Amino acid sequence: MPDLFIVKRLNMKIGNYQLLPIETSRFALDGGAMFGVVPQVIWRKTNPPDEFNRISMVTRSLLIQGEGKNILVDTGNSNKIAKRFQDIYKIDFTSVNLISSLQKHNISPSDITDVILTHLHFDHAGGSTYNDNGIIKPTFPNAKYYVQKDHLKLALNPTERDRASFLHEDFVPLQEHGVMELVEGEFEIFPGIHLILVHGHTNSQQLVKVSDDKNTMLFAGDLIPMSAHVPLPFIMGYDLRPLVTLEEKKKILGPAYEEKWAIFFEHDPNTIAGTVTSNEKGFIFESPIQLDK
């Protein structure tokens, strides 16, 4: 972690919930795709690429415990994915995986009561199912999986541009087993837990905001996947509507700065969460928050 940052500590007890980061895999994506129009000479300072121009990333879920529930936000990559696919994206489960990370907190798959999927791209929904001797089953047998209805429509009928991002074995079995719960719009899904919709990266991506009268944690999904994506122009080439993403970042980062929200970064290999500040150039990453575990 960079020495220039003052690391803040935050006891992630918000309201009646304990929040725990759950790392599920290491992987890598093309740096140019991750930073869009931003030149490599700029983004490589914080995210150096490998010989194939890929930058190091993680898939990091959020476990929300309280009110008699174990709620998981996103499920990361899946080891049922084809070997060729794993090689392209350098997907690695040797140091961390979804089940072992949950076990560190004495949580088994049957203990998860609810799964909120921000969207159904393979690196966010892959761990939702597993291959049991050729049969694809839900990873969390007692959980409801919450998916935005409009997003599911896209995932089932993607365009040629984003077809590779959706793997039907990650989410269609959830429908077949009757555990997918379709939701619509922004609302309080559980006490103190709100869904916020954004549409720039993909249709109806749902961010998750956990708050009480003192603290707020925003699971930023692919709106702000890493701390390096806090500045407004730093928008992924993967986004379907980059100008919509730009406006959505302004809308989110305004209150995040003013109210000192903790932003949870799903893909940052070094920084789990942090705060943002503002200067003459706009919003910038302020400092990391060390989550108490």
CATH number at residue 121: 3.60.15.10
Q: Is residue 94 part of a domain?
A: yes
| Cβ–Cβ under 8 Å, residues 101 and 145 | no
All residues at 6 or more sequence positions from 15 whose CB lies less than 8 Å from its CB, including other chains: 66, 191, 192, 210, 211, 212
Q: Is residue 1 part of a domain?
A: no
Report CA-CA distances (Å) from 287 to 6, 15, 232, 263.
6, 23, 17, 11
Structural domains counted in the chain: 1
The string of pLDDT tens digits covering residues 137-149 is 999 999 999 999 9
Q: Is residue 227 part of a domain?
A: yes
Q: Is residue 3 part of a domain?
A: no
Q: Is residue 66 part of a domain?
A: yes
Give residue 283's domain range. Answer: 8-291
The string of pLDDT tens digits covering residues 148-203 is 999 999 999 999 999 999 999 999 999 999 999 999 999 999 999 999 999 999 99
pTM across the whole model: 0.94
The string of pLDDT tens digits covering residues 98-149 is 999 999 999 999 999 999 999 999 999 999 999 999 999 999 999 999 999 9
Q: Is residue 269 part of a domain?
A: yes
Q: Is residue 54 part of a domain?
A: yes
Query: Strand pairing partners for 11?
Result: none
Tokens of 188: 């309080």
| Rounded-to-integer distance, Cα 156 and Cα 150, Å | 10
**Mean pLDDT, rounded, for 234-258:** 97
Supply φ then ψ for residue 78, to 5 degrees: -120, 140
| Cβ–Cβ under 8 Å, residues 253 and 230 | yes
Please tell me whether residue 228 adopts helix, strand or coil conformation: helix
Q: Is residue 286 part of a domain?
A: yes
All residues at 6 or more sequence positions from 53 whose CB lies less than 8 Å from its CB, including other chains: 30, 31, 32
The string of pLDDT tens digits covering residues 258-292 is 999 999 999 999 999 999 999 998 999 988 886 65
The CA angle 244-245-246, to the nearest 5 degrees, is 90
